[in-house]
Structure 1
């Protein structure tokens, strides 16, 4: 069956008309891990990279039968390995990247003009969108396409053996070179885009419960604030083999744009998401005021946030007496409101279809940019 989708591009909005329904999200056939430890999403890391040392040159003189002065035959050392970072779609975070990465040393030169072996370069895969900062905070590289390479530290060149230093005057040199040391540098790695959809809300709004209900992620859930200190990522799969990354981000409080609470540590994660979902606890009588605080904090940090796709997930709809608060949100917030319950799984299908709608529209904008 061919699905026909029509896009209409206006001045500031991109609307979508459907002649067929959206692809359906799939229920995961693989159960959640039963390991007691929970792996957090690592989106920033400081690493030290050391290039391999070049091999030393050799001092040797060839001795043959009936020719004791056959001449110098010391070979050159091999080159040390580079440390190379490669953008790959096969990795999602920096959890596998070591804090210290060292390239192999080159082989030493040997007699009979045998050169040392060049070391094999150390290639480290990082997610697409990884940005490299030096110790001063300057951006050195941005790996924004699959397969792009960045040489983090160059290996040292191999030293010359004494055969290299033969001249008309000096026929039997007794000197050679040491292999050069590799570069020793430090970088701060940061993933620019961690997810397409980011959950925004106050502590205990139900963001972690909602992420656990729609993905295989296992964020920490507890009845006290700031249980989420690092982002957790879950993948939503659809029947057309497309996947959408959804991030459970740390909770926001008033004054976050002034670095209060988690402050900039929280807001930097928001800056990398394509779309925002305000997860609001509709059992709170001041839910509309909290929504205004959330939007104010985001716009104070970055005014461009208002131009990104965003809508509201009115969570905890299963509690009694919340329908009035939902109606207040729909009438005053100016955004689409989707009532959901992460605990009981109410209306999650509509929420996931909205995710796909926003994802497709964003991809369409990127493909037709310029």
Structure 2
């Protein structure tokens, strides 16, 4: 998924359909004098409906289609026939899409399941025909209800990637390399900061045909929660991960300190992220010997950890085992 094709935020303008007017028709047939009112109801205006689609990965299809209008309901007819409803408009979105009011920023709902449907803007109700207004004292009403008007609103759609494991680390911590080794994902990998410009997802195969989803989140830097670097834009994708895998290179000056900085950025952005299970992977460990590894272990934070090397395939199996153990534990809660 290239950066130009990954769209995780879009603002759209929606307008539902107006309801059709009721009919004021009076029955006129041969041999039937004063047949009375037989006007039917108008049709309902079309809804704007958000629908989840597990085969959609971004909001790219909405980037150039930001005005969405539903169809209007048709007028009622004779013989109490109801007018046709207006055409509903469906907006297909990836799972994990949060829908907000474009004016107030209030969260309206979130789409998390395939084919889940939520009405964003309701169509206007159709007006009642004059058949509804007849009575003993008013046997030939010559009036009917107009249909309800359409409703307009702007909405913000935000995608938050749904994954079991989210990779958290500074630029060039080895996140993309790990994802390319344990899954079929092919993220861009280069020896410069911020190589990853969009989240990448990969399905990691485990024992006995089991698997889990891993997300490579673009690198976080100190001050990301204030808008520095790319972190602020993509920190929201971490909110939907079950486990946060912190990744710090073995050649860092102070592994414990880097972990604290990353931890603090998540805390400043959203304190609820601290409730998620945290794991630590010390990457590029093929560059250190056993003696240096022992020194590093003596000053690590109090979280489950493993030393890995994606290039040398070191510790990858142990990492998968550790992740799967935590996933099973979280599913039992």
Instruction: Please classify the TM superposition score into its range, dividing by the shorter chain length.
Output: 0.7 to 0.9
The 2-side partners of 1:313 and 1:299 are apart by: 20
The 2-side partners of 1:289 and 1:171 are apart by: 85
The 2-side partners of 1:169 and 1:316 are apart by: 90
In structure 2, the residue matched to 1:159 is: 127
The 2-side partners of 1:108 and 1:239 are apart by: 61
Query: Once the 2 structures are TM-superposed, how far is the Cα of residue 209 of structure 1 from its aligned partner?
Result: 2.0
The 2-side partners of 1:262 and 1:46 are apart by: 20
* Residues 221/104 of structure 1: CA separation in 2 closer, same or farther (3 Å cut): farther
* Residues 270/101 of structure 1: CA separation in 2 closer, same or farther (3 Å cut): same
In structure 1, the residue matched to 2:45 is: 80
Conservation of the 8 A alpha-carbon contact between 2:160 and 2:236: no
Query: Once the 2 structures are TM-superposed, how far is the Cα of residue 313 of structure 1 from its aligned partner?
Result: 2.2
- Does residue 55 of structure 1 match 2:40? no
Deviations 1:47-80 (A, max 9, x none): 4443332223334444433558645443221122
The 1-side partners of 2:247 and 2:215 are apart by: 12
In structure 2, the residue matched to 1:107 is: 74
In structure 2, the residue matched to 1:28 is: none
In structure 2, the residue matched to 1:347 is: 315
In structure 2, the residue matched to 1:133 is: 100
The 2-side partners of 1:54 and 1:253 are apart by: 52
SS at 1:354's partner residue?
helix
Q: Which structure's residues are more often helix, by fraction?
A: 2
Conservation of the 8 A alpha-carbon contact between 1:73 and 1:111: yes
Structure 2 unpaired stretches of 5+: none
Deviations 1:126-178 (A, max 9, x none): 66665443232233335678887643222211123344455667665554443
In structure 2, the residue matched to 1:316 is: 284
Query: Once the 2 structures are TM-superposed, how far is the Cα of residue 188 of structure 1 from its aligned partner?
Result: 2.9
1:95 corresponds, among 59, 82, 96, to 59
In structure 2, the residue matched to 1:196 is: 164
1:253 corresponds, among 221, 238, 262, to 221
- Does residue 179 of structure 1 match 2:143? no
Mean CA deviation greater in 336-345 or 168-177:
168-177
1:118 corresponds, among 76, 85, 97, to 85
Query: Once the 2 structures are TM-superposed, how far is the Cα of residue 330 of structure 1 from its aligned partner?
Result: 1.9
In structure 1, the residue matched to 2:173 is: 205
* Residues 283/121 of structure 1: CA separation in 2 closer, same or farther (3 Å cut): same
The 2-side partners of 1:41 and 1:215 are apart by: 23
In structure 2, the residue matched to 1:232 is: 200
* Residues 40/145 of structure 1: CA separation in 2 closer, same or farther (3 Å cut): closer
Conservation of the 8 A alpha-carbon contact between 1:41 and 1:231: no
Deviations 1:3-42 (A, max 9, x none): xxxxxxxxxxxxxxxxxxxxxxxxxxxxxxxx98885373
Conservation of the 8 A alpha-carbon contact between 2:255 and 2:300: no
- What is the root-mean-square deviation of aligned Cα atoms in Å? 3.8
SS at 2:240's partner residue?
coil
Conservation of the 8 A alpha-carbon contact between 2:59 and 2:94: no
The 2-side partners of 1:114 and 1:138 are apart by: 40
In structure 2, the residue matched to 1:16 is: none
SS at 1:158's partner residue?
coil
In structure 2, the residue matched to 1:361 is: 329
Deviations 1:297-325 (A, max 9, x none): 3344455555532222222344x557666
Query: Once the 2 structures are TM-superposed, how far is the Cα of residue 276 of structure 1 from its aligned partner?
Result: 1.7
